[in-house]
Amino acid sequence: MPKVKRPKKGWFRPDKKKPKRGPRVKPSEKGLPPCPACGQWSMQKDNTKSELFCGSCGAIM
């Protein structure tokens, strides 16, 4: 068996889960529609300004 030098960054492991990119967003509050801009169910209600905004793309309604 030939000797193989270990790479500096370590061996590649395909079973590792990849980290999710983008902001972490809670699912939309009950009764709110999906976002018209991106289609994600991440609409949230801003109580201070009384308006709806999307948690993933930032669109304001």
The domains of the chain are located at: 27-61
Distance CA 57, CA 40 (A): 9
33 within 8 A of 52, measured Cβ to Cβ:
no
24 vs 3: which has the higher pLDDT: 3
Tell me the pLDDT tens digit for each residue of 5-42.
Answer: 988 988 887 776 767 665 565 555 667 788 888 877 77
pLDDT value, residue 53:
84
Asked if pLDDT for residue 4 goes beyond 80, the answer is yes
What are 47-50's contacts with CB under 8 Å, separation 24+? none
35 within 8 A of 13, measured Cβ to Cβ:
no
Distance CA 41, CA 14 (A): 30
